[in-house]
Structure 1
Amino acid sequence: MPGPGFAVVDLETTGLFTGGHDRVIEIAVVHTDENGTITGEWETLVNPQRHVGAEHVHGIRAADLIDAPTFADIADDLVDLLAGRVLVAHNARFDRGFLAAEFGRTPHPLPDDAPTLCTMQLARDLIPGAGRSLADCCAAFDIPLDNAHRALVDAHATAELLGGYIASTDREFWYARIDRALNVGWPPLSHLSRRERWVARGASAASVPFLQRIAERLPDVSGPAEHIEYLALLDRCLIDRHLSEHESRQLAAVANELGIGRDTATRLHVEYLDQLATVAWSDGVLSATEVADLAAVAALLQVPDALLTAALAPREPAETVSTTDAATTPGAFTLPPGAMVVLTGEMSRPRAELESALTAAGYRVAGAVSKKVSLLIAADPDSLSGKARKAREYGIPVVGESHLARLL
């Protein structure tokens, strides 16, 4: 009787090089029996603890990975899913190389003798002339492949392709590999499977509007001092007119810590928008750029359209900001000449060019984050890089590359 069968794997990664800093950011495992029939499938995002790489290719944002486990967190789970099975992948050299590198950072090295099959290499003999891509191979068997570059989609299609290969060839070839897999010695598990920690794409809390994360308190236990502290943090988070997932979580956590309920937070957001409009009207003119800016803030703070319209209504230039403390005045954060800034991530412009522009504008560019740094400029404001983690630890604002235009 053949063993349990095959484990079809597909990965999404930050890049192409296993020997460098590239890491796995999504993994899917599909089980099939000895005949190629699918018997189970699992997927999770993986926090790489670094930049996510080519987001336009894999479609995974840093914000999606905040709640995801690290590879070390799921290593035991993967051993449980892979042990005793033949490892299968399309372009197996790539996937196995990354798995070996990731497992090599844990107490569970990937066994050298674990048998692997590559559906891309097998296509040369089984479907000659079909092409090497997964899409080409699947087309030869009329296997649908929608939403490619999502790990579970590609792994499922590869598993169906494997089933087509098995059905059209001598079973002894496949059974021999399964027998070999049963004799491979995998390291013992340190705990039972914990796949409930796995986070599939789209399951992250990042999709929940941050206002909904603020507790509904009855009664609200906050006062003016707490409101000023919350508004000051809100102003800092809105420096670049973007609320990253990290900033959203920080706002919700601070609101809950200060005893600010959801209704109070909603009122404070409206007040903040009104103060911002007052500042914009201070010269007697509301430009198209300022209107767009106010609309952007209203959307981020979930201020209803009717209240945005009211905030845009003309007001006297002499009107002052209605606030109990100057610290809550929108735009209070400033970056004075000589301030130290740090860059992180792959920007749309060459790093050297950006550093030269910042230096010419009177800022100092540092290579590492310290408490002397005033601002971190990131390709992705939710960056998972070491610099971004350190900046958040120090309370240094993290803004997107688009904010460079404001600085320069």
Structure 2
Amino acid sequence: MTGRLRHPAHRDASEVTAGSGKGYAVIDFETTGLFAQSSHRVIGVAIVHVDETGRITGRWDTLINPGRDLGRQDIHRIRAADVMQAPTFEQIAPQLVKLISGRVLVAHNARFDTGFLLAELERLDYEAELKLEALCTMQLAREFLPGSGRKLSDCCAAYDIPLVDAHRALADAVATARLLGAYIAEAPDAPGWARSVAGAAALPWPPFLGEASEWVSRDDVAPAGPVKAASWLDRITVKLPEFAGPAEQLDYLALLDLALLDRELSTHEAQALVQLAEDLGIGRATCAALHERYFDDLVHIAWVDMVLTEAEIADLVTVAQLLGLPTAAVATALVAPPVARTSKVAAASSERFALTVGDIVVLTGEMLRLRADWHAELTQHGFVPGAGVTKKSRLVVAADPDSLSGKARTARDYGIPVVSEAGLSSLLGRS
């Protein structure tokens, strides 16, 4: 596990012990949805320590692998690829309990965050008798900011507290901590502060017993965007000599075609290509040659009518980038061949994935487009919208191609391609 938690004191979460100081633990969760008692799960958490005077003394955050799809990714902007190597809630629970034990829990809309905290701990059979001393900065706004809005952004604006990267757990937790500090500064002698701190300190939570895992800060994951060729091609072993023959090379090309259906290369797909190359005994040099062959076939398909459209040019540029091909390969592709080689085009086209009438297509995740609209369009094209993934399914469409949903996991087990909504649109346009 890579990536370590960082905050001003440079302490790792595992170094924090129960009862290590009085004060407040500001907490903010990112979740797959709004309902803690349903199937919705936590996918990120941030904790900020605040002392009794309102001063921030430490901050921690980690992504969490929920083992399911991530819900409305347009809100939290977390990709499935981000959480693939993140710890589970069970693995972060030992440190999490240490960080909040003996402190007053604080959140903006505390009912939401404490609800998810207790629901996740309940799933792990953490059956301790917990005293939950909590404060809600949203509710406190009634007293300190009468007449203002209740959203975190409204409350922060009233005190000129910067709020950047809203809906990111650490940013929201830091802003909430500063808001708490502003409240304390306005009424430092109010008896409620000391009463809450004393109550929490008197009844610390028992430790969560289990094997702890290193936290993975959201700042430590790669920025959003397609997988770059160099980031996965370099993981393929340089083999000399190779033992792969034409059949193995065709298997690799077939998987490559499935991986590039939606002109994106998910982390799962890149890993699958690397693993297949290793299993088949194909070295990095041969993979590079196969990528050139695959691209060459696409070029011939694009030039079959002796006209290269803007869409076809954009498509070739995208594929060349994903395959790590030099810009010279694209420049050569844009030059019209003297004669269209129809036999080569026919052979290349026959090897490409295509949907046929009657194929079962399954959707998973929170789509940008209404699922009912997708189902209607699939039916119009003669395809069958499927409710679940079976070996008879032909294609799975996910809001995130790296989706961790049960449908996506089953599809990968069966070798069924998983594409994005854009990929489905492209396939329907070609069908």
Please report the TM-score for the alignment, with normalisation by the length of structure 1: 0.89
Query: Residues 287 and 164 of structure 1: is their aligned pair in 2 closer, same or farther, counting only changes over 3 Å?
Result: closer
Change (3 A) 1:99 1:2: closer
| 1:233-286 alpha-carbon deviations (Å, 9 max, x no partner) | 101111222212211221122233334444433332222111111122233333
CA change 1:220–1:115 in 2 (3 A) is farther
Distance 2:274 2:128 in 1: 41
Alignment of 1:225-374 (within 5 A): 225=246, 226-315=248-337, 316-318=339-341, 320-321=343-344, 332-374=352-394
Inter-partner Cα distance in structure 2 for 1:375 and 1:2: 53
Partner of 1:384: 404
Corresponding residue of 1:34: 52
How much does 1:154 deviate? Answer: 0.9
**Counterparts in 2 of 1:148 and 1:387: CA distance versus 1, 3 Å:** same
Q: Is contact 1:5-1:178 (8 Å) kept?
A: yes
Deviations 1:154-188 (A, max 9, x none): 11111122222223321642222122112335343
The worse-fitting range, judged by mean Cα deviation, of 207-216 and 177-186 is: 207-216
Residues 1:139 and 2:162 aligned together: no
Partner of 2:275, secondary structure, is helix
- Residues 198-241 of structure 1 show CA distances to partners (whole Å, capped at 9, x for unaligned) of 34245259776253332352636353333322212101111222
Mapped to 1, the partners of 2:211 and 2:311 lie a distance apart of 57
Aligned residue in 2 for 1:200: 218
Give the 3 Å change call, closer, same or farther, for CA 192–17 of structure 1 in structure 2: closer
Q: Distance in 2 between matches of 1:112 and 1:190?
A: 15
* Rounded Cα–Cα distance in structure 2 between residues aligned with 1:2 and 1:27: 20
Partners of 1:99 and 1:109 in 2: CA distance: 13
CA distance in 1, matches of 2:103, 2:240: 57
Choose the corresponding residue for 2:101, options 71, 83, 96.
83
Match of 1:17, as an amino acid? F
The change in CA–CA distance for 1:330 and 1:49 in structure 2 (over 3 A counts) is farther
**What SS does the corresponding residue of 1:104 show, helix, strand or coil?**
helix
One-letter code aligned to 2:399: A
Structure 2's unaligned 5+ residue stretches are: 1-18
Distance 1:349 1:136 in 2: 31
How far is the alpha carbon of 1:127 from its aligned partner?
3.2
Equivalent residues, number:
404
Deviation of 1:68 after TM superposition, in Å, equals 1.8
Describe the shift of the 1:335–1:136 C-alpha distance in structure 2 as closer, same or farther (beyond 3 A): closer
Q: Distance in 1 between matches of 2:121 and 2:20?
A: 27
Query: Counterparts of 1:178 and 1:74 in 2: how far apart (Å)?
Result: 25
Alpha-carbon separation, structure 2, partners of 1:39 and 1:257 = 50
| Paired residues for 1:177-216 under 5 Å | 177-184=196-203, 186-191=205-210, 193-194=212-213, 196-204=214-222, 209-213=228-232, 214-215=235-236
RMSD (Å) for aligned C-alpha atoms: 2.7
Q: 1:321 to 1:281 in 2, by over 3 A?
A: same
In the superposition, relative to structure 1, how do residues 2 and 102 fare at CA in structure 2: closer, same or farther (>3 Å)?
closer
Once residues 202 and 405 of structure 2 are traced to their aligned partners in structure 1, the CA distance between those partners, rounded to angstroms, is: 40
- Judging changes above 3 Å, is the alpha-carbon distance between structure 1 residues 267 and 218 closer, same or farther for their aligned structure 2 residues? same
What is the aligned-residue identity percentage?
49
Aligned-partner SS, 1:392 = helix
Deviation at 1:309, TM superposition (A): 1.2
| Cα drift, residue 49 of structure 1 | 2.5
Assess, with a 3 A threshold, how the Cα gap between structure 1 residues 245 and 106 changes in structure 2: closer, same or farther: same
C-alpha contact (below 8 Å) 1:104/1:110 kept by paired residues: no
Instruction: Kindly provide the CA deviation profile for residues 124-164 of structure 1, in whole angstroms up to 9, marking residues without a partner as x.
Output: 21233343222222233332211111110111111122222
1:113 aligned onto 2:135: no
Taking structure 1 as reference, are residues 365 and 137 closer, same or farther at Cα in structure 2, changes over 3 Å only?
closer
Residue 123 of structure 2 aligns to a residue whose secondary structure is: coil
Distance 2:96 2:355 in 1: 47
2:194 to 167, 175, 181: 175
Q: How far apart, CA to CA, are the structure 1 residues paired with 2:126 and 2:361?
A: 40
Q: Which position in structure 2 is the counterpart of 1:217?
A: 238
Q: Is 2:424 the counterpart of 1:401?
A: no
User: Does structure 2 conserve the Cα–Cα contact (< 8 Å) formed by 1:220 and 1:264?
Assistant: no
* CA distance in structure 2 between the aligned counterparts of 1:331 and 1:300, rounded to whole angstroms: 20
8 Å CA contact retained: 1:6, 1:34: yes
Q: 1:132 and 1:111 mapped to 2: Cα distance?
A: 32
| Cα distance in structure 2, aligned partners of 1:93 and 1:54 | 21
Q: Would the aligned equivalents of 1:27 and 1:44 in 2 still touch at CA under 8 Å?
A: yes
Instruction: Classify the secondary structure of the residue corresponding to 2:96.
Output: helix
Matched, 1:59 2:81: no
- Tell me the TM-score normalized by structure 2: 0.85
Partner of 1:19: 37
Q: Which ranges in structure 1 are unaligned for 5 or more consecutive residues?
A: none
Q: In the aligned structure 2, how far is the partner of 1:193 from the partner of 1:105?
A: 17
